[in-house]
Amino acid sequence: MGMGKRMNLRARIGAATKQAMKDKDATRLSTLRLINAAIKDRDIAARGEGGEGSGVDDAEILSILGKMVKQRRESARTYEEGGRLDLAQQEEAEINVIEEFLPRRLSEREVDTAVENAVSEVGATSIRDMGRVMGVLKARHSGQMDFGAVGSKVKARLAG
């Protein structure tokens, strides 16, 4: 693939971090630093597993970002239930920063279409093919869908 206009995620996050420093935007900067730290942790772990020296790729970074959003959604919900709206808002602010680097979430209909495409692509006929279908979806739509929810959709589709 050509280098085109799309900077890779690592470069985009780095550029955003520098900009936040210039803008003295503390909330944004602290969130970007958390993202960078999470990526560094993964790089180190990957090297330990004998991964190549350049660190984790965009797909891996998307998965890290997705997890970070999920954790913050759960925290925000807990804070809201506990009446700590200030803390809930802080989590929401961090989610907004992280989501800038995630691809747009697919709508329900787009998810259904993606599932159909993956099923026909691997020629899935039974629940035994579920892993292959999920593999295609994860490779193609990392960060765009909730794979927990999609898993039950695929299961229902293949069981039918």
- Among residues 47, 78, 99, the one where a domain terminates is 99
Residue 3 domain-assigned (yes or no) = no
- State pLDDT tens for residues 72-123: 999 999 999 999 999 999 999 999 999 999 888 888 999 999 999 999 999 9
Greater confidence, 105 or 69?
69
- State pLDDT tens for residues 121-156: 999 999 999 999 999 998 888 778 888 889 999 999
User: Range of 142's domain?
Assistant: 108-159
Q: Residue 147's pLDDT is what? A: 84
The tally of domains found in the chain comes to 2
Same-domain status, 95 and 114 = no
Same-domain status, 69 and 125 = no
Q: Residue 10's pLDDT is what? A: 92
CB proximity list for 19: less than 8 A, separation 6 or greater? none
Same-domain status, 32 and 71 = yes
Q: Residue 1's pLDDT is what? A: 40
- Average pLDDT of the chain is 89
SS3 142: coil
Distance CA(72)–CA(152), nearest Å, equals 23
Q: Residue 51's pLDDT is what? A: 60
Give the CATH number, domain containing residue 147.
Answer: 1.10.10.410
Question: Concatenated DSSP letters for 31-79?
Answer: HHHHHHHHHHHHHHHHHHTT--TT---HHHHHHHHHHHHHHHHHHHHHH
Residue 2 domain-assigned (yes or no) = no
Q: Model's pTM, two decimal places?
A: 0.68
Enter the tokens of residue 10. Answer: 């690592």
- State pLDDT tens for residues 3-44: 444 568 999 999 999 999 999 999 999 999 999 999 999 998
Q: Residue 4's pLDDT is what? A: 40
Asked whether residue 2 carries a pLDDT value surpassing 80, the answer given is no
Give the CATH number, domain containing residue 79.
Answer: 1.10.1510.10
